[in-house]
Amino acid sequence: MIATIHSNDRTGLLAAALVAGGLTAAGTRPTLVAVGANGAQACGLARLSGSFDLLRPDPRDAAAVLSGLAARSEGDVIAVLPTDLLREGGPGKPGHLRVVATACRLTAAQALHATASGAWHLRCDSELGQPAWRIAPRVLPLKLPRLSPLEQMRLLAGDLGESMRYAAVALAATLLAVSADPDAERFETGDLTALMSPLSPARDRDLHERLLDCAAALGDPVLQGAPVGTAGAAGGRLRKSRPTPVATARLRATQPARLRA
């Protein structure tokens, strides 16, 4: 998966940190590419750390860096980019997802680029239900949770508390599922349930396995203990024991109420 998260403020950086934390909890080590757009984002970048490979390219080199990472056959990439770097790329490629996550209103030009690029909108809990741009064609079925200043500092430092861990895994699982068909007209929680079903189509088997890894992470309260199997071929993923039905149901429900649409 390659997910580019576009933002005008620290919201995108927090979303990327959550996704990276969720992927790490599910047994992978993602690469996080962070490009700051303003002072607030630069301050957050200075605090950013965690169990991921961090790249901080110059904005002028961001496209080349992402192209190089996209050429790899394995590994997840989460990129935080300014909304001004949204490009009208036409139909998205499987595995490549564009997301807009910002607490600020987009300008008319930014909204036009966001719509033309096929970006999905990740709403913020502080938006009071208002989208970042007037007509967001496709909206993810959860909201970025409201975090206190202390929670934000802990998240950027790679410290996922209990509630943030659920939010992180739920967001990571959702982006994994949506990235499999980035041009879909909509995506709902029920679609995530279908992808986790044993009757999932053969072409979705790898995605099915990864979503079960996410559910298994939720079934392990402390995320400790050695993995049962060996590292898989996809991005060095560590294969863990399969989740219980309870853990799977928790992921289907998208965890805390404040994550629900």
Query: What pLDDT does 180 receive?
Result: 87
* Cα–Cα distance for residue pair 234/252, rounded to 1 Å: 23
b/e per residue, 194-203, with b = 16+ CB within 10 A? ebbeeeeeee
Q: What pLDDT sits at residue 83?
A: 82
The rounded average pLDDT for each run of 10 residues, N- to C-terminus, in the chain (261 residues) is: 88 92 92 74 69 83 81 83 70 76 78 83 66 72 87 88 87 92 86 79 78 83 32 37 46 45 40
pLDDT value of position 252: 52
CATH topology of domain 2-161+174-179: Rossmann fold (3.40.50)
Going from N- to C-terminal start, the domains of the chain cover 2-161+174-179, 189-259
Predicted pLDDT of residue 220: 45
pLDDT at 261: 40
Q: How far apart are CA 4 and CA 95, in angstroms?
A: 11
Residue-level pLDDT at 24 = 93
Are 169 and 26 in contact by the 8 Å Cβ rule? The answer is yes
Question: What is residue 169's predicted lDDT score, i.e. its pLDDT?
Answer: 93
pLDDT at position 178, please? Answer: 92
